[in-house]
Amino acid sequence: MSYQVSHFIHGQLIPVTGKTLEIYNPATGEVSGQVALADQSIIDNAVAAAKTAFTAWSGTTPLRRARVLFNFKMLLEKHIDELAQLVTKEHGKTLSDARGSVQRGIDVVEFVCGVPNLLKGSYSEDVATEMDSYSVRQPLGVCVGITPFNFPAMIPLWMFPMAIACGNTFVLKPSEKDPSCSIRLAQLLKEAGAPDGVLNVVQGDKAAVDMLLKHHDVKAVSFVGSTPVAEYVYNTAISHGKRVQAFGGAKNHCVVMPDADLEQAADAIVGAAYGSAGERCMAISVAVTIGDKVADELIKRIKPRVDKLVVGSGKDKTTEMGPLVTKAHQEKVKSYIDLGVKEGAELVIDGRDFKAKGFEKGFFIGASLFDKVKPEMRIYKEEIFGPVLSIVRVPDFNSALKLINEHEFGNGTAIFTGDGNAARTFANKVQVGMVGVNIPIPVPVAYHSFGGWKRSMFGDIHMHGMEGVQFYTKLKTITQKWLKDSKGTEFSMPTHH
């Protein structure tokens, strides 16, 4: 049955009016609903609701805010299967993968339940005679989150729970491709006891984003999406005086050393390259093999695993890889495979003609593997964001490190080895934000922080963990003295002499 997804402002769903976009079921290829597109008045209303709510919410004690978040965590746990189903329905990934991603979002909520402790300031007694100094972290005001299609629950949960725990209020603009989850999250937060206006959701595309980036009352913007949009969001929001963190695309390499356990490495690489149909910013899209023998042996192990890969509807419990999110994305990924062939890479496994039985109109593509990919090829340089793995053969460890360090992206990377010294040198020298040692997808846990380097991130402060607290607060330092006797007027810089 067709459904409509609208905005959630000041605790209420807003009836759909004006322009809409179609939402698809990626497994069947059918239109399943419509999503509203916010106009200026919707954006103004959402920001105004958040601005009004800020006064009382920022004055609510951190302990009371934490209690709301604790209720929210319990409600998320209760509704985890329902949220996972919403993810699968509009994104296409498998239910178990969707459930795992919601859980990773809940982990952040759990972390921010400790916000009274996270916000504790510092105090220095006697910074001068009878003078003390202390520092506190205070909220910013209305914060905005703009999120991508590939994690419709987890990435919003990286942002707004942390922001509101710190005393801010929030306007979320989710991806127009899978907008339903964000509304359910907002309803559950309301049920948990958050006052109206603390979290608002506006639906839309570029036009809605532009209105938010330029809005006078927005103080900070968190963005996750592709690199060209991240760079645009960063520059636009900065020039309008906002604090910004904008996370972009990726090309994540894993290095396979000659001493690696190749069975384990092949398992890890197949899961990390083809899980979620490669639509993860931490997916492995390049395997860098040290020496030809490693490449040949690795391919020998990847091929049978790919042959056995169950591709189909994400709702089917046996499915291991679902469809891509839209027809346009399916065509884009296929065109990259065409390009790779033209560029001279060796297509070892070709998933272009794959059809899922019973889902012939779905946006599927089979797992694909290129060997002998060269650094100058576009299939190496650009993010494909689909189930396409490239093997780049290099002669030694230093060539692998140089290759990774010269790539424009620096989100995640991994090394498979039994050699502690190689692993340590890799972790120490690689120019990438998140590094795995014998771990293919090293997404930091909620109490550490997530963020890439180079053109995978614009801004300075990573997401969740203590960096999240830093991003969503500003530091104030108070120096105080309770005067008994005035020492008269002083004109020089105060010192200890």
Contacts of ligand NAD in 178-197 (CB under 6 A): none
Cα(283)–Cα(269) distance, rounded to whole angstroms? 9
Q: Is 281 a catalytic residue?
A: yes
456 near ligand NAD, rule: CB under 6 A = yes
Contacts of ligand NAD in 285-324 (CB under 6 A): none
Query: Left if phi > 0, otherwise alpha if psi is -120 to 50, otherwise beta: which for 421?
Result: alpha
Contacts of ligand NAD in 400-439 (CB under 6 A): 411
206 near ligand NAD, rule: CB under 6 A = yes
CB of 470 to ligand NAD, least distance (A): 17
281 near ligand NAD, rule: CB under 6 A = yes
Cα(493)–Cα(477) distance, rounded to whole angstroms? 18
Tell me the backbone φ, ψ of residue 179, rounded to 5 degrees: -85, -10
Residue among 393 and 464 whose Cβ is closer to ligand NAD: 464
Q: Answer for the pair 218, 172: CB distance below 8 angstroms, yes or no.
A: no
249 near ligand NAD, rule: CB under 6 A = yes
Contacts of ligand NAD in 118-147 (CB under 6 A): 146-147
CB of 420 to ligand NAD, least distance (A): 29
442 near ligand NAD, rule: CB under 6 A = no
CB of 174 to ligand NAD, least distance (A): 6
Query: How many CB atoms within 10 Å of residue 431?
Result: 13
Residue among 250 and 394 whose Cβ is closer to ligand NAD: 250
DSSP designation for 438: S
Q: Where are the beta strands (DSSP E) in 30-100?
A: 30-36
Residue among 151 and 160 whose Cβ is closer to ligand NAD: 151
Cα(141)–Cα(218) distance, rounded to whole angstroms? 7
* Catalytic hit among 113, 143, 181, 281: 281
Q: Answer for the pair 198, 151: CB distance below 8 angstroms, yes or no.
A: no
203 near ligand NAD, rule: CB under 6 A = no
**Segments in 289-326 forming alpha helices (H):** 292-308
Size of the site for ligand NAD (CB under 6 A): 27
Segment interacting with ligand NAD (CB under 6 A) among 39-47, 204-212, 354-362, 486-494 = 204-212
Structure tokens at 370: 């290129």
User: Residue 102's closest CA among 199, 201, 188, 6?
Assistant: 188
250 near ligand NAD, rule: CB under 6 A = yes
Residue among 159 and 306 whose Cβ is closer to ligand NAD: 159
224 near ligand NAD, rule: CB under 6 A = yes
175 near ligand NAD, rule: CB under 6 A = yes
Q: Answer for the pair 338, 42: CB distance below 8 angstroms, yes or no.
A: no
Cα(211)–Cα(41) distance, rounded to whole angstroms? 10
Cα(66)–Cα(112) distance, rounded to whole angstroms? 7
Q: Where are the beta strands (DSSP E) in 209-294?
A: 218-224, 243-247, 252-256, 284-290
Q: Answer for the pair 349, 356: CB distance below 8 angstroms, yes or no.
A: no
Nearest-CB residue to ligand NAD? 225
CB of 206 to ligand NAD, least distance (A): 4
Cα(173)–Cα(452) distance, rounded to whole angstroms? 22
CB of 65 to ligand NAD, least distance (A): 26
225 near ligand NAD, rule: CB under 6 A = yes
CB of 412 to ligand NAD, least distance (A): 9
97 near ligand NAD, rule: CB under 6 A = no
28 near ligand NAD, rule: CB under 6 A = no
User: Residue 182's closest CA among 249, 103, 90?
Assistant: 90
Among residues 11, 148, 362, 468, which is the contact residue for ligand NAD, using CB under 6 A?
A: 148
Contacts of ligand NAD in 40-79 (CB under 6 A): none
CA atoms lying within 13 Å on the CB side of residue 396: 1
Q: For tokens 């914060």, what's the residue?
A: 143
Catalytic residue list: 281
Binding site for ligand NAD (CB under 6 A): 146-151, 173, 175-176, 205-206, 209, 224-226, 229, 232, 247-250, 281, 383, 385, 411, 452, 456
